[in-house]
Amino acid sequence: MQNSTESKIALVTGAAGVLGIAVTKAFLDKGMHVVLMDIDQARLQLIQGDYPEGKTTAAACNIADPEDVSRAFTGIKEAVGHIDILVNNAGILSNNKVEATSVEEWVKVMSVNLNGIFYISKLVIPGMKKRGWGRIINTSSLAAKTGGITAGTAYSTSKGAVNSLTFSLAAELAEYGITVNSIAPAYVRTPMVTAQLSKSQRQELLKKIPVHRLCEPEEFAHVVCFLADDMAGFITGEVIDQNGGLHFD
């Protein structure tokens, strides 16, 4: 085994979002260097000011555009050398069910939630293989397993594909010391969830969730840290449910 995560370099996509920020903070607390990737350059710059100087590298990029991802990755390699831990967390929500989903919306959701993971993983994997160690952690969703309680068809399908990609990469990369897992959260206390609910809808939802509360972003970050740890090296191809008891399998 290698030493603990302390000296590692992590790349977090969707780093300007609520879960990306929680993961970044948890990684920084562990002493890691974190590459912050997000399409929202202005917000990236803003949040980077809150982190300890020299401990993060901003990489503005549209993960749905393979050329932009390639350009950003060249810059990342120049800046930090390599990536040990990749957290594929960027994602967009769509609540439209099939008939209300336009072709453009379908393609966009797939491009960000699925293709983006493929583009960035493809570039990061060779370095992980060379060093014989790596962690890839994908953000799926409960919607992948339920068909989407509130989430729409494109979103639920994209997250199902994230699970399949997790299984494929886990099988391909196990022998190189690289684990690939995903986390399937539901109802984390983020604008992605709260912004779309009225007060009464929120109360109804809380009644339905067996633990009667939303998941905190820090709880999600805790699971990411668990999977990133050296001691989780025997876990690969797993989808960890984080849904407050809404769904068992």
Ligand X SMILES: NC(=O)c1ccc[n+]([C@@H]2O[C@H](COP(=O)([O-])OP(=O)(O)OC[C@H]3O[C@@H](n4cnc5c(N)ncnc54)[C@H](O)[C@@H]3O)[C@@H](O)[C@H]2O)c1
Please report how close the Cβ of residue 116 comes to ligand X at its closest, in angstroms.
6
Reduced to 3 states (helix: H, G, I; strand: E, B; else coil), residue 87 is strand
Which residues within the stretch 20-49 sit at the binding site for ligand X (CB under 6 A)? 20, 38-40
* 195 contacts 152 by C-beta, under 8 angstroms: no
Binding mask of the shown chain, residues 123 to 142, with x at each position contacting ligand X by CB under 6 A: ----------------x-x-
Rounded to whole angstroms, how far apart are CA atoms 49 and 170?
Answer: 35
Binding mask of the shown chain, residues 104 to 123, with x at each position contacting ligand X by CB under 6 A: --------x-----------
Query: Would you call 155 a catalytic residue per the annotation?
Result: yes
Reduced to 3 states (helix: H, G, I; strand: E, B; else coil), residue 132 is coil
- Its sign, for the CA torsion 232, 237, 241, 242, is positive
Q: Is 92 in the site for ligand X (CB under 6 A)?
A: yes
| 64/86 with CB nearer ligand X | 64
The residues, ordered by sequence, that sit 6+ positions from 55 with a Cβ below 8 Å of its Cβ are: 28, 33, 34
Catalytic residue, chosen from 51, 119, 155, 176, is 155
Q: Is 58 in the site for ligand X (CB under 6 A)?
A: no
* 138 contacts 182 by C-beta, under 8 angstroms: yes
| 169/186 with CB nearer ligand X | 186
Q: Is 14 in the site for ligand X (CB under 6 A)?
A: yes
Rounded to whole angstroms, how far apart are CA atoms 218 and 209?
Answer: 18
Site for ligand X, rule CB under 6 A: 13-14, 16-20, 38-40, 62-64, 89-92, 112, 139, 141, 185-188, 190, 192-193
